[in-house]
Amino acid sequence: MSLPTREVQIKQASDTAKIFVDAYYDALNRRKPSAIAAFYTTASTSYASHPPDMSINGLPLTDPAAYARLLDDHYHEAPLPGVPAPKASSSSSSAASTTPLVRLELESFDAHVVNADYVVAAPPGIADTPDKTGAKCSVLVQVTGRLYYGRGREAPAKTFNEVFVLVPNWDTFGRNAPKGARRWLISSQNFRSL
Protein backbone atom coordinates (compact mmCIF):
# COMPACT_ATOMS: atom_id res chain seq x y z
CA MET A 1 0.00 0.00 0.00
CA SER A 2 1.36 3.38 -1.04
CA LEU A 3 0.40 6.25 1.26
CA PRO A 4 0.87 10.00 0.78
CA THR A 5 3.98 11.47 2.41
CA ARG A 6 3.64 13.25 5.76
CA GLU A 7 4.05 16.61 3.99
CA VAL A 8 1.24 15.78 1.55
CA GLN A 9 -1.00 14.71 4.43
CA ILE A 10 -0.35 17.96 6.31
CA LYS A 11 -1.09 20.04 3.21
CA GLN A 12 -4.22 18.01 2.44
CA ALA A 13 -5.53 18.43 6.00
CA SER A 14 -4.81 22.16 6.00
CA ASP A 15 -6.33 22.83 2.57
CA THR A 16 -9.36 20.63 3.26
CA ALA A 17 -10.05 22.34 6.60
CA LYS A 18 -9.73 25.86 5.17
CA ILE A 19 -12.09 25.17 2.25
CA PHE A 20 -14.57 23.34 4.48
CA VAL A 21 -14.60 25.87 7.33
CA ASP A 22 -15.05 28.83 4.97
CA ALA A 23 -17.92 27.19 3.08
CA TYR A 24 -19.70 25.55 6.03
CA TYR A 25 -19.78 28.55 8.36
CA ASP A 26 -20.65 30.86 5.47
CA ALA A 27 -23.71 28.66 4.80
CA LEU A 28 -24.65 28.80 8.49
CA ASN A 29 -24.19 32.55 8.76
CA ARG A 30 -26.12 33.22 5.56
CA ARG A 31 -29.09 31.75 7.39
CA LYS A 32 -29.67 28.90 5.01
CA PRO A 33 -29.94 25.86 7.28
CA SER A 34 -31.39 23.81 4.42
CA ALA A 35 -28.13 24.31 2.50
CA ILE A 36 -26.10 22.42 5.10
CA ALA A 37 -27.40 18.99 4.02
CA ALA A 38 -24.91 19.07 1.13
CA PHE A 39 -22.04 19.00 3.66
CA TYR A 40 -22.93 15.59 5.16
CA THR A 41 -22.40 11.98 4.08
CA THR A 42 -26.14 11.74 3.44
CA ALA A 43 -25.50 13.85 0.30
CA SER A 44 -23.52 10.98 -1.25
CA THR A 45 -24.96 7.81 -2.73
CA SER A 46 -21.82 5.94 -1.64
CA TYR A 47 -22.53 6.57 2.06
CA ALA A 48 -26.21 5.52 1.97
CA SER A 49 -25.65 3.04 4.80
CA HIS A 50 -23.25 5.34 6.71
CA PRO A 51 -25.22 8.29 8.14
CA PRO A 52 -23.26 10.97 9.99
CA ASP A 53 -22.86 10.90 13.78
CA MET A 54 -24.09 14.25 15.08
CA SER A 55 -24.16 15.69 18.59
CA ILE A 56 -25.14 19.29 19.32
CA ASN A 57 -24.57 20.30 22.95
CA GLY A 58 -24.98 16.67 23.93
CA LEU A 59 -28.17 16.21 21.91
CA PRO A 60 -27.75 13.37 19.39
CA LEU A 61 -29.35 14.19 16.04
CA THR A 62 -30.42 11.64 13.47
CA ASP A 63 -29.67 13.57 10.29
CA PRO A 64 -28.79 16.99 8.82
CA ALA A 65 -32.50 17.82 8.44
CA ALA A 66 -32.91 17.61 12.23
CA TYR A 67 -29.95 19.97 12.63
CA ALA A 68 -31.42 22.35 10.05
CA ARG A 69 -34.69 22.44 12.01
CA LEU A 70 -32.79 23.13 15.24
CA LEU A 71 -30.85 25.95 13.59
CA ASP A 72 -33.97 27.40 12.03
CA ASP A 73 -35.68 27.49 15.43
CA HIS A 74 -32.77 29.42 16.92
CA TYR A 75 -32.33 31.67 13.91
CA HIS A 76 -35.81 33.11 14.16
CA GLU A 77 -37.02 32.52 17.71
CA ALA A 78 -35.80 32.96 21.26
CA PRO A 79 -32.16 32.17 22.00
CA LEU A 80 -31.05 29.21 24.09
CA PRO A 81 -32.16 29.00 27.75
CA GLY A 82 -30.06 31.18 30.01
CA VAL A 83 -29.17 33.61 27.23
CA PRO A 84 -31.04 36.93 27.36
CA ALA A 85 -33.12 37.89 24.34
CA PRO A 86 -31.60 40.65 22.20
CA LYS A 87 -32.93 44.16 22.78
CA ALA A 88 -35.29 45.40 20.10
CA SER A 89 -34.45 48.80 18.66
CA SER A 90 -37.07 51.52 18.18
CA SER A 91 -36.59 51.15 14.43
CA SER A 92 -37.54 47.48 14.51
CA SER A 93 -39.87 46.31 11.80
CA SER A 94 -41.56 43.05 10.98
CA ALA A 95 -38.59 42.26 8.73
CA ALA A 96 -36.26 42.68 11.71
CA SER A 97 -38.26 40.15 13.70
CA THR A 98 -37.34 37.47 11.16
CA THR A 99 -33.67 38.41 11.14
CA PRO A 100 -31.65 35.48 12.44
CA LEU A 101 -30.59 35.65 16.07
CA VAL A 102 -27.54 33.40 15.83
CA ARG A 103 -24.18 34.23 14.29
CA LEU A 104 -20.96 32.19 14.47
CA GLU A 105 -17.61 33.94 14.36
CA LEU A 106 -14.55 31.73 13.99
CA GLU A 107 -11.42 32.38 16.02
CA SER A 108 -9.27 29.40 15.02
CA PHE A 109 -9.26 25.95 13.51
CA ASP A 110 -6.86 23.02 13.40
CA ALA A 111 -6.75 19.92 11.23
CA HIS A 112 -5.06 16.53 11.17
CA VAL A 113 -5.26 13.48 8.94
CA VAL A 114 -6.98 10.63 10.79
CA ASN A 115 -6.59 7.90 8.18
CA ALA A 116 -4.33 8.36 5.16
CA ASP A 117 -6.05 5.52 3.27
CA TYR A 118 -9.73 5.89 4.16
CA VAL A 119 -11.78 3.46 2.06
CA VAL A 120 -15.09 3.05 3.93
CA ALA A 121 -17.90 2.90 1.34
CA ALA A 122 -15.42 3.49 -1.50
CA PRO A 123 -16.29 1.85 -4.81
CA PRO A 124 -13.94 -1.06 -5.65
CA GLY A 125 -12.08 0.82 -8.38
CA ILE A 126 -11.23 3.61 -5.96
CA ALA A 127 -10.61 1.52 -2.84
CA ASP A 128 -8.03 -0.62 -4.65
CA THR A 129 -6.14 2.27 -6.26
CA PRO A 130 -3.04 3.58 -4.46
CA ASP A 131 -3.18 7.31 -3.70
CA LYS A 132 -0.21 9.56 -3.00
CA THR A 133 -2.15 12.83 -3.37
CA GLY A 134 -4.06 12.65 -0.09
CA ALA A 135 -7.43 12.50 -1.85
CA LYS A 136 -8.42 9.41 0.17
CA CYS A 137 -7.54 10.85 3.60
CA SER A 138 -10.08 11.36 6.36
CA VAL A 139 -9.49 14.63 8.20
CA LEU A 140 -10.27 15.75 11.75
CA VAL A 141 -11.10 19.48 11.99
CA GLN A 142 -11.42 21.32 15.31
CA VAL A 143 -12.98 24.79 15.29
CA THR A 144 -13.21 27.36 18.08
CA GLY A 145 -15.15 30.60 17.95
CA ARG A 146 -17.86 32.82 19.38
CA LEU A 147 -21.59 32.20 19.10
CA TYR A 148 -23.53 35.48 19.16
CA TYR A 149 -27.19 35.48 20.18
CA GLY A 150 -28.58 38.64 18.63
CA ARG A 151 -27.54 41.47 16.38
CA GLY A 152 -24.38 43.53 16.63
CA ARG A 153 -21.23 43.29 18.71
CA GLU A 154 -23.12 43.92 21.96
CA ALA A 155 -25.12 40.73 21.52
CA PRO A 156 -24.68 38.10 24.24
CA ALA A 157 -22.04 35.57 23.22
CA LYS A 158 -20.66 32.20 24.22
CA THR A 159 -17.54 30.37 23.17
CA PHE A 160 -18.12 27.31 21.03
CA ASN A 161 -16.00 24.34 20.07
CA GLU A 162 -16.84 22.06 17.17
CA VAL A 163 -15.10 18.92 15.97
CA PHE A 164 -15.69 17.30 12.59
CA VAL A 165 -14.41 14.18 10.89
CA LEU A 166 -14.44 14.80 7.15
CA VAL A 167 -14.31 11.95 4.66
CA PRO A 168 -13.85 11.92 0.88
CA ASN A 169 -17.00 12.20 -1.20
CA TRP A 170 -16.60 9.18 -3.46
CA ASP A 171 -19.20 10.61 -5.83
CA THR A 172 -16.68 13.30 -6.84
CA PHE A 173 -14.04 10.78 -7.89
CA GLY A 174 -13.80 9.93 -11.57
CA ARG A 175 -15.63 11.33 -14.55
CA ASN A 176 -19.03 13.03 -14.51
CA ALA A 177 -18.99 14.07 -10.87
CA PRO A 178 -22.25 15.71 -9.77
CA LYS A 179 -22.14 19.47 -10.30
CA GLY A 180 -21.72 21.39 -7.05
CA ALA A 181 -20.95 18.28 -4.98
CA ARG A 182 -18.71 18.86 -1.96
CA ARG A 183 -15.30 17.19 -2.14
CA TRP A 184 -15.32 16.39 1.62
CA LEU A 185 -18.31 15.35 3.71
CA ILE A 186 -19.06 15.37 7.43
CA SER A 187 -19.00 11.86 8.86
CA SER A 188 -18.97 12.98 12.50
CA GLN A 189 -19.81 16.27 14.20
CA ASN A 190 -19.70 17.32 17.85
CA PHE A 191 -20.75 20.91 18.66
CA ARG A 192 -20.53 22.34 22.16
CA SER A 193 -21.20 25.90 23.33
CA LEU A 194 -19.46 26.66 26.59
Task: Find all residues with CB under 8 Å of 143, minimum gap 6, and list them.
Answer: 21, 25, 106, 108, 109, 160, 161, 162, 163, 164
Least confident range from 14-18, 149-153, 159-163: namely 149-153
Least confident range from 30-34, 76-80, 164-168: namely 76-80
CATH of residue 74: 3.10.450.50
Residue 152 forms part of a structural domain: yes
Residue 132 forms part of a structural domain: yes
Residue 97 forms part of a structural domain: yes
What is the pLDDT at residue 153?
75
pLDDT averaged over every residue in the chain? 87
Residue 1 forms part of a structural domain: no
Q: pLDDT band at 93, cuts 50/70/90? A: very low
Distance CA 141, CA 16 (A): 9
- Tens-place pLDDT, residues 10-61: 999 999 999 999 999 999 988 776 789 999 999 999 999 999 999 999 999 9
pLDDT cut 70: percent of the chain above it: 86
Domain of residue 108: give its range.
6-193
What is the pLDDT at residue 116?
97
Residue 79: pLDDT over 70: no
**Sheet containing strand 102-115, strands side by side:** 59-61, 53-56, 184-193, 157-168, 138-149, 102-115
H-assigned helices in 122-168: 124-127
**Total domains, the chain:** 1
Tell me the average pLDDT across 144-171. 92
What is the pLDDT at residue 142?
99
Residue 137 forms part of a structural domain: yes
Residue 78 forms part of a structural domain: yes
Distance CA 41, CA 186 (A): 6
Residue 81 forms part of a structural domain: yes
What is the pLDDT at residue 83?
52
